Amino acid sequence: MPRDFSMAQTNRQRNIWPANQSSFSRKLLTTQLLLLCGAMAFTHCRNFNWPAEMSEVKTDVPTLPQMAAPSMAPAGGLYISTQNVTITTTPAADAICYSTDGVTTPACTGTTCTSGSSYSAAVSVSANQNLQAIACASGYTASAVASETYTFDLVLPTVLSSTPADAMTNVAPCSGAPCRAAIVLIFSESMNTTLTQTLTTEIFDGASYVSAPDSSPTYTWSTGTFTNDTLTIQVGWYWFPEFSQIRYTLPIAGFQDLAGNFIAAQVQRSFTTTKANQAYPLADTGYTSCHNDAGVTACGDPGWPGQDGDFLNVPAARSFTGPSMHATYNSDFTTVDNVTGLTWKACSEGRSGATCAVGANGTYTWANAISQCSALNAANSGAGYAGINEWRLPTMQEIETLLRFWGSPAVEAVHFPQTAGAAYWSSTARFSSPTNAWRANFSFDPVYYSLKTTAGNIRCVASSTSASRVFSDNGDGTITDNSTNLRWQKCARGKANDATCSGAATTGVWSTALNYCDTLNLGSFGNSNNWRLPNPVELNSLINRAVVAPLVQSGFFPGTTVGDYWTSMPYSTPTGAWALSFSTGYTSGYAKTNPFYTRCVATGP
Q: Sorting pLDDT into bands at 50, 70 and 90, what band is 85?
A: very high
- Give 3-state DSSP helix, strand, coil % of the chain, rounded to 5: 15, 30, 55
pLDDT confidence of residue 573: 80
- Which of the four CATH numbers 1.10.3210, 1.10.1740, 3.10.450, 3.10.100 does domain 318-462 have? 3.10.100
Mean pLDDT value across the chain? 89
pLDDT confidence of residue 530: 83
Does position 6 have pLDDT exceeding 60, yes or no? no
| Rg of the chain in Å (alpha carbons) | 44
Does position 17 have pLDDT exceeding 70, yes or no? no
Mean pLDDT of 7-26: 44
- Which of the four CATH numbers 2.60.40.1220, 3.20.20.100, 3.40.50.300, 2.60.40.3080 does domain 159-273 have? 2.60.40.1220
Residue 142, CB-side half-sphere exposure with 13 Å CA sphere:
18
In terms of C-beta distances under 8 Å and separation of at least 24 residues, what long-range contacts does 466-469 make, across chains too? 466/278, 466/279, 466/280, 466/340, 466/341, 467/278, 467/279, 467/280, 468/277, 468/278, 468/279, 469/277, 469/278, 469/279
Q: What percent of the chain has pLDDT over 70?
A: 89
pLDDT confidence of residue 433: 93
Q: Sorting pLDDT into bands at 50, 70 and 90, what band is 35?
A: very low
- Give the span between the Cα atoms of 366 and 373, in whole angstroms: 11
Strand partners, 269: 248
Does position 222 have pLDDT exceeding 80, yes or no? yes
Q: Sorting pLDDT into bands at 50, 70 and 90, what band is 526?
A: low
Q: Sorting pLDDT into bands at 50, 70 and 90, what band is 316?
A: very high
Residues 527-549: pLDDT tens digits?
566 899 999 999 999 999 999 99
pLDDT confidence of residue 37: 43
Does position 294 have pLDDT exceeding 90, yes or no? no
Q: Do domains 318-462 and 471-603 have the same CATH topology?
A: yes
Mean pLDDT of 327-335: 98
Does position 314 have pLDDT exceeding 50, yes or no? yes
In contact, 567 and 577? CB cutoff 8 Å: yes
Per mean pLDDT, which range of 58-72, 138-152, 266-280 is the poorest? Answer: 58-72
Q: Sorting pLDDT into bands at 50, 70 and 90, what band is 60?
A: low
Q: If DSSP codes are grouped into helix, strand and coil, which group holds residue 493?
A: coil
pLDDT confidence of residue 4: 43
Q: Sorting pLDDT into bands at 50, 70 and 90, what band is 574?
A: confident
- Number of Cβ within 10 Å of residue 109's Cβ equals 11
pLDDT confidence of residue 529: 63
Separation of CA 301 from chain center: 56
Compare 192 and 49 and report the one with higher pLDDT.
192
Residues 455-472: pLDDT tens digits?
999 999 998 777 788 999
Residues 344-383: pLDDT tens digits?
999 999 999 999 999 999 999 999 999 999 999 999 999 9
Residues 164-219: pLDDT tens digits?
999 999 999 999 888 999 999 999 999 999 999 999 999 998 889 999 988 789 99
Does position 589 have pLDDT exceeding 50, yes or no? yes
Does position 581 have pLDDT exceeding 80, yes or no? yes
Report how far apart, in Å, the C-alpha atoms of 561 and of each of 139, 367, 501 are. 106, 34, 10
Q: Sorting pLDDT into bands at 50, 70 and 90, what band is 75?
A: very high
Residues 130-142: pLDDT tens digits?
999 999 999 999 9
In contact, 166 and 246? CB cutoff 8 Å: no
Q: Sorting pLDDT into bands at 50, 70 and 90, what band is 62?
A: low
Taking the model in full, what pTM does it have? Answer: 0.80
Residue 517, CB-side half-sphere exposure with 13 Å CA sphere:
33
Does position 227 have pLDDT exceeding 90, yes or no? yes
Mean pLDDT of 216-234: 96
Does position 58 have pLDDT exceeding 70, yes or no? no
Does position 301 have pLDDT exceeding 80, yes or no? yes
pLDDT confidence of residue 49: 52
Residues 468-508: pLDDT tens digits?
889 999 999 999 999 999 999 999 999 999 999 999 999 99
For residue 366, give the H/E element and its range: helix 366-374
In contact, 256 and 290? CB cutoff 8 Å: no
User: End-to-end distance of the chain based on CA atoms, in angstroms?
Assistant: 124
In terms of CATH architecture, what is 471-603? Roll (3.10)
**Residue spans per domain, the chain:** 7-54, 71-152, 159-273, 318-462, 471-603
DSSP string of 308-343?
A: GGGSTT-S----EEEEEE-SS-TT-EEEEETTT--E
Per mean pLDDT, which range of 8-17, 286-295, 447-456, 558-567 is the poorest? Answer: 8-17
Q: Sorting pLDDT into bands at 50, 70 and 90, what band is 13?
A: very low
